[in-house]
Amino acid sequence: MRRRPIFALREAIELSRDLRLILLSNFLWSSGSMLYYFLWPIYVRDLGGTAREIGLLTSLMFLTSALTLIPGGWFADRLERKRLLLVTWVVATPAPVVYALARSWVGLIPGVVIYSFFLGWPAFEAYIAHAAPSERLSRAFALTSAGFSLGAVLSPLAGAALLPSLGIRGLFLISFGLFAASTATLFLISPQPPPRSRSSERGPAGSYLQGLLSALRDRRLGRWWAAFALAALGASAARPFIPAFLEDGYRFSRPAILMASALLALGEVVIAVGLGWVGDRWWRSGALGLSFLCVVLGLGLLLFGGAPGALLAMFLLGGDRVSISLSRALIGSYAPVGTSGALFALYWVIVDGAGAGGPYLGGMLYDSSPPRLFLGASGLVLAALALVVLPPRGGRELVRPSVGASRPEVKEAR
């Protein structure tokens, strides 16, 4: 008998030990990052930056992650994955200390760079894909990512309570402690050497390039690459300016902005559980399309719903991060043995490459017209929705995961 979506909550308990530890690590990291995340753009303005500097620093984050992901994918398929994870987390952990010590927006740049050091992120994705059964792949990605959301539900509320007494620099120091705890948790996971494949007999470089070229030639993946790029461009353009819009447009106080961000995290948890179930039991690309739809509706309500609508908008905008989890599940379901790191690296290079220009463009649009920014972002995400849901003429469409198989079942589109 199929499980109803509400019972998918217990899937987190049924995850393997290593995936539960990853969930806990994500929880601790988010508890640190979400103490300040929604105030970070406003902090940039406090240090003398404008909307353009907010966009510039956010674009630098995407650019740094994209550049480190390129070698990261190759390493993920060739080196022990736990070590790659630990190197990445250790490098990023001191970022809040750098933020706390900054005295101008320029001083934030070193923190931005180390926080965005993503060398081990393809190994992180491949680790989850390898540790999860194929019939639970969407839920494994959605629920381990929901660990991030669970921390983000309570952490902004704690930040709102602590902000008047500690200030944002005090929040940065607490974040550093939580980041260190997150990193320590990853020391407890099991080592995971990359699986061997026939293609690896051609040598490391040949195997890696073969995986990338195979992914680029696949027509189904080609549509998904385009959809991921469009959604990333739209979301990255709008995301950094949502806190500024709440402050400028609706006069939310800074503690209220932190509390509103808890609604975003709560929405991510709820949406992740529901759409993770849909993705595993019904239609993976359809679940991804629904997450894009949540983002479009959220941006619309943020712009036209007034202050009450903005609160509901924050809940729906939780679909942004869920769409990333579901995108990764799609990639994981098609990754050949020994090339999952390459595919995840290509995914993140495309997403972060597209997202690198979004925040800077968003900063220019926000200075001239906030409505134009959010409407343009909605249009890009809506185009991504159409690409993942509507099948190409004569192409093949992902219809239903094939439980117990290594790849999902597909059929010819009419």
When the pLDDT of each residue in the chain is averaged and rounded to a whole number, the result is 80
Instruction: For residue 122, name the pLDDT band (cuts at 50, 70, 90).
Output: confident
Q: What is the pLDDT of residue 93?
A: 97
CA distance 374 to 193: 43
**Is the pLDDT assigned to residue 282 strictly greater than 50?**
yes
Alpha carbon distance 317, 271 (integer Å): 10
- Residue 118: both structure tokens together: 């993503």
Q: In Å, how far are 149, 162, 330, 347, 362 from 239, measured between CA atoms?
A: 16, 24, 23, 20, 9
Residue 103 scores a pLDDT above 60: yes
b/e map of 144-161 (b: 16 or more CB within 10 Å)?
A: bbbbbbbbbbbbbebbbe
User: What's the predicted TM-score (pTM) here?
Assistant: 0.71
What mean pLDDT comes out for the span 99-119?
95
**Residues comprising the chain, all counted:** 414
- Residues 205-263 pLDDT 10s: 555 566 666 666 666 677 888 888 999 999 999 988 999 899 888 888 888 888 888 88
Look up residue 402 and give its amino acid. S
Domains of the chain with bracketed CATH: 8-190+205-412 (1.20.1250.20)
Instruction: Print burial letters for 235-251: b (CB count within 10 Å at least 16), e (below 16).
Output: bbbbbbbbbbbbbeebe
370-381 confidence digits (pLDDT tens): 999 999 999 999
Confidence band for 274, pLDDT divided at 50, 70 and 90 = confident
| CA 138/CA 93 separation, integer angstroms | 28
Token pair recorded at residue 47? 């240090």
Q: Is the pLDDT of residue 20 over 80?
A: yes
pLDDT band at residue 92 using 50, 70 and 90 as cut-offs: very high
Distances (CA, A) of 315 to 150, 295, 332: 14, 10, 27
Task: Note the pLDDT of residue 200.
Answer: 44
Question: Burial of 103 by CB count in 10 Å (0-12 exposed, 13-18 middle, 19+ buried)?
Answer: exposed
Q: What is the pLDDT of residue 392?
A: 57
According to DSSP, residue 59 is labeled H
Mean pLDDT throughout 103-115?
A: 95
